[in-house]
Amino acid sequence: MGVANSIPRVALALAALAASLCPAAPATADDLDRIVERGRLVVGVKEDYAPFGFRDSEGALVGYDVDVARAFAETAGVTVELVPVTSANRLQKLQRGEIDVVVATMGDTRSRRELVHMIEPHYYGDGANVLMASGSGVSDWSDLRGQTLCTLQGALWGRLAEERLLIDTVALNTTRETALALRAGHCVGWLYDEVNLLNELASGDWDGYEVSLPTRFILPWAVAIRKEEAGGRLDRLLGDLLAQWHRDGFLQDLERRWDLPPSPYLKRARERWVERDGTEQYVCRRDDAGRWPLSCREASLVTSEGLTDLSGMALLLLETTGLDVSVLYDPTDRSVFLAGLGLTAALSVVTVVLSIVLGILFGWLMHRRVFAVAPLLRVACAGLRMTPPLLQLYVVFFGLGGVVVALGFTLDAFTIAAIVLSLYAAASNAVAFHHASDVAAGGSGVLRFTPGDIRKALALCFAAVMGNCVNIVKATGMASTLALPELVYASTSIVAEKGNDDIMMNLLLLAYFALVILTVRAFRLLERRVAAP
Amino acid sequence: MTVAEIVDHLAAWTPYLLTGFGWNIAVSLVAMAIGTVTGLLLALMRDSRVRGVNGGGGALTVVMHGAPTFVMLFYLTYMVPEHIELWGLNVHVPVWLKASLAFGIAVTGFVSDNALVSIRHLAGGRILEALLFLPSWTSYFLIIVMASSTASVIGVPELVYRARTVIGAVDRPDFAIWVYLYAMVWFLAFSIVLTAAMHLLRGRLTRRARTTRDRDEAGLGGIP
């Protein structure tokens, strides 16, 4: 272990230690006093979880977690005593005082936080991913909805995928069986810990397979101490060390040392912890009360303690009732949801305006029976009305999209959705406007393309046009199938991470009701204008 | 891909795709059945002289009109558990039924409005005018069949869902558009046949009813 060469780290830790041992220290002895007094840090680690905590050929405990434990002790100037623990007994051993610290592949969860204190920042993190055949056309988790994935029995991911991502799973007994089931085509992919899948891929047995989805269900791993030590000097010391190790890349060095594939979690954590503000200070630094800023913590694990604003209230609601209004306390969820709302609103406005303008134009051309154009439009309108808009989206996105790319343009999902949906609604508007024009013009007369004449016809078909437009606003969610991060897409991805489907689905529905009401309001205002002489 | 290859692939997959289209029709028919019953109930409520009942029927109809079916698909999929305890029985709620329920909500709103018109015609003894409910109902059925393609997003194995499966199985990048266009043709053919039949029915009814007053089909355009 190359701790000896990390002098700055030692210096920092000793400084922290010295600071914490200064005369102002509390009179009662805490865990740090006891550790320093006995000259030994007792750490619980795994002995059966390579490469994090396992026994080498000589029977010694080694691994990523073990190196973290050793670095804690070394920088604190004490020796380390490693105690093998299991997932079942690590928390109890800590609570009983048999060990001082747990570094044992432990995922940080709200329920575990009731028993022990989790040090922030976290020292590792892993999530779920899918191993599947290359070129399967799956580029997003939502593409897997309704498909079947193989999982290992007892793994957390299976249940999460079913409940939050609406993916079917078949659970197999062993890793080997899972691999065989995937090769035999019993499922489209293997859902498992990302680290393990990347290891499989690196083994060379999986030619033609890939792990390419964005990591889901990221669970950060935490170092834990006794709950009574929360906010104490040991908490602060370990937290400062971990922050430092994110900044100087020590944790990523360890990752390389143990041949772990580069973890997206560590990469992101490092970016977060090295970021500096305008005064060249770290953005993630402790406040006067010793707390890290909210934006530097894992939002899904933050507790309401010490928070008095809206996010504190939302967290209190979560802790007391289980209702998870994550858009109120998690900045990521909030921005995802608001961006979705903005996109949906923008798509609605563009689509409604375009569908009315095109509807009037097409309807008038049909009314005037313009040579060749009118019959063509009539067929086109019928065709648009008699095929599902979802298929129209797919045809343009997957089919014409390629043609357009070949010509040198690119059309993004928003543009495609706006064009397809507004043409779809315009077809119905055109038919309504056509009939209204015929009626408004009387027996054999014709309407001119002037504001006055258009208004006359529009007044007659106003209800129909409004109905069509309200329906197209309600249908904007279809753009989510093109992976456009509008409201439906945003809501389902928040559900996927937080599992708060009850809150998010109601919020989604409410947002759409509000949109529909606003649309109707806007049309009522417009109606007065149109009806006015 | 050559034309012959495309035709070969499409022909080979046609039975599989058509089974999917059967799902579209089945899901839509169940939605129409559910929505017609609940919509009739709402229409009867609105026809009532009791103020509370009358207003309740109206308010519920407004809610049914406001709910977007695409969003309701997700809403029901997440909110309705897969198994429900009913009178001590463990009832399985399949995903296609959730889709039918989602579309059934839109049907309820439609039937509530149109059945009310028919109920008033019936009360006035204008039986043929009341029967104009049928062609309107058929138009709406077509709209629901179009909407049923969106059930693919929650995993109902209907035509669009199967089209995606076929694209995955054939695994040729330029094949996708042909499968989608082919799926469109089925929807189009179904619509043309049903629309023609409906026009025939509507023509007969209006001629016999000797009234120029046709039913207002305002806002019948588009997926609700």
Angle between helices A331-367 and A501-531 (to 10 degrees): 30
* Dihedral sign, Cα of residue A209, residue A213, residue A216, residue A218: positive
For chain B, domains (ranges, CATH) are 3-209 (1.10.3720.10)
Interface probe with A: pick from B153, B161, B216, most Cβ of A within 10 Å: B153
**pLDDT, position A245:** 96
- Taking CA–CA distances from A423, the nearest residue in chain B reads B222
CB-CB under 8 Å, B74 with A508: yes
Picking from B68, B155, B176, the nearest residue to A477 by CB comes out as: B68
In a domain, A319, yes or no: no
In a domain, A323, yes or no: no
C-alpha–C-alpha distance, residues A416 and A396, integer Å? 7
How much is the mean pLDDT over chain A?
87
CA–CA min distance B156, chain A (Å): 7
Does A330 have pLDDT greater than 90?
A: no
Span A243-267, mean pLDDT?
92
User: How many domains are there within chain A?
Assistant: 3
- Taking CA–CA distances from A429, the nearest residue in chain B reads B221
Does A262 have pLDDT greater than 90?
A: no
Q: Mind listing the pLDDT tens digit for each residue in A465-481?
A: 999 999 999 999 999 99
Q: Residue B12 is which amino acid?
A: A
- Of A178, A201, A218, the last residue of a domain is A218
The band of A533, judged by pLDDT with boundaries at 50, 70 and 90, is low
CB-CB under 8 Å, B146 with A388: yes
Structure tokens at A468: 């069509």
Flag the least confident range among A154-158, A290-294, A476-480.
A154-158
CB-CB under 8 Å, A399 with B176: yes
CA–CA min distance B67, chain A (Å): 7
Q: Are A383 and A506 in a shared domain?
A: yes
Picking from A145, A147, A395, the nearest residue to B153 by CB comes out as: A145
Does A236 have pLDDT greater than 80?
A: yes
CB-CB under 8 Å, A495 with B219: no
Higher pLDDT, A367 or B201: A367
Residues 6+ apart with CB under 8 A from A354: A418, A419, A422, A426
CA–CA min distance A31, chain B (Å): 46
Q: Mind listing the pLDDT tens digit for each residue in A421-464?
A: 999 999 999 999 999 999 888 867 788 888 889 999 999 999 99
- The Cβ of residue A462 has, within 10 Å, a number of other Cβ atoms equal to 18
Give CB contacts under 8 A, 24+ apart, made by B117-126. Answer: B117/B215, B119/B43, B119/B44, B119/B47, B120/B47, B126/B209
* Dihedral sign, Cα of residue A20, residue A23, residue A28, residue A34: positive
Find the radius of gyration of the CA atoms of chain B: 20
Residue A452, classed as helix, strand or coil, is helix
Q: Are A135 and A266 in a shared domain?
A: no
CB-CB under 8 Å, B183 with A477: no
Q: For chain B (length 224 residues), average pLDDT per consecutive 10? A: 90 95 97 97 94 93 94 93 84 93 96 93 88 88 95 93 87 84 96 90 76 50 77
In a domain, A310, yes or no: no
**pLDDT, position A9:** 55
In a domain, A408, yes or no: yes
- Of A174, A195, A218, the last residue of a domain is A218
CB-CB under 8 Å, A488 with B70: yes
In a domain, A318, yes or no: no
Does A184 have pLDDT greater than 90?
A: no
The band of A186, judged by pLDDT with boundaries at 50, 70 and 90, is confident
CB-CB under 8 Å, A429 with B221: yes
In a domain, A2, yes or no: no
Residue A424 with chain B: CB contacts under 8 Å: 222
Span A249-267, mean pLDDT?
90
Could you give the percent of chain A with pLDDT greater than 90? 48
Q: Are A486 and A409 in a shared domain?
A: yes
Picking from A428, A468, A508, the nearest residue to B71 by CB comes out as: A508
**pLDDT, position A405:** 65
C-alpha–C-alpha distance, residues A61 and A51, integer Å? 11
Q: Are A211 and A96 in a shared domain?
A: no
- Of A197, A218, A239, the last residue of a domain is A218
CB-CB under 8 Å, A147 with B78: no
Q: Mind listing the pLDDT tens digit for each residue in A56-71?
A: 999 999 999 999 999 9
Contact B148, B27 (CB under 8 A): yes
Does A329 have pLDDT greater than 90?
A: no
Does A12 have pLDDT greater than 80?
A: no
Residue A494 with chain B: CB contacts under 8 Å: none
Span A217-245, mean pLDDT?
92
C-alpha–C-alpha distance, residues A392 and A390, integer Å? 5
Contact B30, B97 (CB under 8 A): yes
CB-CB under 8 Å, B74 with A488: yes
Span A8-31, mean pLDDT?
55
Higher pLDDT, A26 or A511: A511
Q: Are A418 and A501 in a shared domain?
A: yes
**pLDDT, position B88:** 83
Contact A428, A499 (CB under 8 A): no
CB-CB under 8 Å, A389 with B78: no
Task: List the domain range (segments joined by +) for residue A170.
Answer: 126-218
Span A107-119, mean pLDDT?
86
Could you give the percent of chain A with pLDDT greater than 70? 90
Q: Are A25 and A42 in a shared domain?
A: yes
Q: Are A380 and A470 in a shared domain?
A: yes
User: Nearest to residue A62, comparing CAs of A257, A261, A262, A266?
Assistant: A257
Picking from B146, B171, B221, the nearest residue to A468 by CB comes out as: B221
In a domain, A384, yes or no: yes
CA–CA min distance B30, chain A (Å): 19
**pLDDT, position A219:** 84
C-alpha–C-alpha distance, residues B58 and B69, integer Å? 20
User: Nearest to residue A272, comparing CAs of A250, A298, A236?
Assistant: A298
CB-CB under 8 Å, B171 with A135: yes
CB-CB under 8 Å, B74 with A492: yes
Picking from A391, A492, A508, the nearest residue to B183 by CB comes out as: A391
* CA distances for A517 relative to A276, A360, B66, angstroms: 45, 24, 8
**pLDDT, position A28:** 60
Residues 6+ apart with CB under 8 A from A266: A124, A125, A246, A251, A252, A255
**pLDDT, position A305:** 66
Q: Residue A53 is which amino acid?
A: G
| CATH number for the domain that contains residue A432 | 1.10.3720.10
**pLDDT, position A18:** 52
CB-CB under 8 Å, A398 with B180: yes
Flag the least confident range among A19-23, A228-232, A490-494.
A19-23
| CATH number for the domain that contains residue A141 | 3.40.190.10
**pLDDT, position A22:** 47
Q: Are A361 and A453 in a shared domain?
A: yes
- Taking CA–CA distances from A474, the nearest residue in chain B reads B68
Query: Is the pTM above the cut of 0.95?
Result: no
CB-CB under 8 Å, A481 with B180: no
Does A319 have pLDDT greater than 90?
A: no
The band of A108, judged by pLDDT with boundaries at 50, 70 and 90, is confident
Q: Are A133 and A119 in a shared domain?
A: no
In a domain, A324, yes or no: no
Higher pLDDT, A184 or A308: A184
> Do you know the residue count of chain A?
533
- What is the four-CA torsion angle of A211, A215, A216, A221, rounded to 10 degrees? 120
**pLDDT, position A61:** 95
Q: Are A239 and A342 in a shared domain?
A: no
Residue the block writes with tokens 């560590």:
A266
Q: Are A67 and A14 in a shared domain?
A: yes
* E strand residue ranges, A104-227: 116-118, 124-133, 148-152, 168-172, 189-193, 209-210, 216-221, 224-226
Find the radius of gyration of the CA atoms of chain A: 30
**pLDDT, position A332:** 81
Interface probe with B: pick from A166, A465, A474, A495, most Cβ of B within 10 Å: A474
- What is the four-CA torsion angle of B60, B217, B195, B190, rounded to 10 degrees? -40
Q: Looking at B67-132, list the stretches that DSSP marks H as alpha helix, in order from N- to C-terminal side.
A: 69-79, 95-123, 127-131
Residue A474 with chain B: CB contacts under 8 Å: 68-71, 223-224
Q: Are A165 and A201 in a shared domain?
A: yes
